[in-house]
Structure 1
């Protein structure tokens, strides 16, 4: 099928490349000329495993091209809206400026039978408003909402082989053609048995934010238990293991630590809260405010543990911070707990030297005042405290005996509870974990 993807940031670039990899004829459109030039040359402007390979393959095949001109969307039958919905300045609400601008710019280029498909994460009620705009334009096009469920670091796999598909379409006969077009686009995933939910606009919008809210709540729940464990002497890792055996609870996302971050989860739960308050149902999700507070408190706890480990000597002490991205297999430092911890420690007068396999450039752009080292041994050398904040495999696999040969003092703050305390203590380290004795 002929497809356009409006917005070629993280979501759009992955979606456009994956759709072309599946055999569709795709044009990716974005107003950022530098981004478009980079993608056209086969160079993603961000790190995502597997993306360079399918981007190069798709562009070389001729099935994928990029443009800064929205008029190049004309002739495509399906148009995906994949622009960002950042948090509004001075508010928790989502900023829909880019979504509205994309739809308005696209409308003059729509033809009868075309389908506009929203993929951006938006407040519930947005799709119905945009559907009315598309239908009243006289273009003969219709609108569907197809939320994304991408995990940074696994986005290519999640797009090519999704764990579920959700279509929000108009009720009755009007929804049949949109659903049929989406079925054609996702034919390979459906043939592989991917679960499909065809529903209304509001439900499709809520599926995405509800999933994010649930995951955030589960993470903050175990971190709340870590706070209790810290004052009682309990071990939150064993607690998580024990309750995780209950099928109703499950072990995933019960890893206590420094908490979640990134460009989606924090801003999405805040936008969800703001939208619920607009609807007069703020009390229904009021608990998400506490989820957010718990999450932010764990960052402060890591800073406090590091200060405790340093004692009274902060100025002149060196702290090696392992990790800058908000999660491994990503270079995304938006609302990153790791970068937040590094910045707070620097503000206390500590000499911070941070390392990360992919995120140093992005971190340096935002916080040039920090020290950065590309190699882990250079970051560790003469450190008074080592703080693990992003659980990259190479950091998790760190040998405490080898690390001990580089540092000045054998002190580690494990902000992800990734290390075995007994192993590290046996190597002569003072070990600090979150919610662990």
Structure 2
């Protein structure tokens, strides 16, 4: 029986074998359709390879196949009897750091690959820093290509110790190291016959068993309003419901709530899930909420627990990953999208740019360019009810949009109001 869903991302330096690992995972877990495998076999033969190149299962872009690298984020969906999976195979090249941020931003777990011959390199540290910055709760260190170092335990132990020490210093909460050979299939789905010194789980076993379902009752209730439902029928002449997806926490009938940014208070009179009344609902359910008082509530408002409602602010300090080829400068006018609310904003200043190797700050960079991660201060035209990203990855995140053409400029993680 499938019990839940795990979102995970793969990352690592170029040629560490990410796509091959993903292909092996899909192939050995019987998650590849016969026509997909036939297409990979045919493509491999055209490239002069006798065995199927499993990396082609995820490197779907023609440019990726020609260059032999991952450029875009490749999403794959598969399932085992124990769990569903949403997988993001992210690029390894420094030029595509922004794509790695995109893939890992919603991940419950990150698989960071290291080539056993090269050990921990600069890009490995960069990806560890990004996972720490994005607060990915679980990290798997997959020491790949163990077959090329004669499956030597000391090689694995040294790499695992170096990475674990570094990642722990960045605040990564949980690290699991696994020695693998993606090409040969060792410890990916099936245990390796070549590494009897390793007694831990395979990659798939760990993915199936890692605990990722948090108790929503421990989180503050946050409900961004997506749509106001007013049927105005003879049967329901006074019906006014607020529809959306619960971002965090639990909503219960009778709970005191605050509507932000207005600050008006009320209590929850009813909760409807798929047209049926219920006494309680929790993240990430999509529901319709009815309030006891007739308040002016519209799309973009946030219904929050009255006991822990954030303070709306127009001045926000945040860390952003710049994803656009157009640089971001102080004084730039942008649109800021937070949950279901979009407001006009201006970039007041860019205090620093992050050095991902050690998370140190480079002061006053003057601008952020593609793949840069830096600190910014934004002034919004209307108040926003943001949480700190450290408290909520959902209501502490936002996007900066180019108002001229609608392209995404940066992905932001709010810290504190200033």
TM-score, structure 1 normalization: 0.26
TM-score scaled by structure 2? 0.27
- Greater share of residues in helix: 1
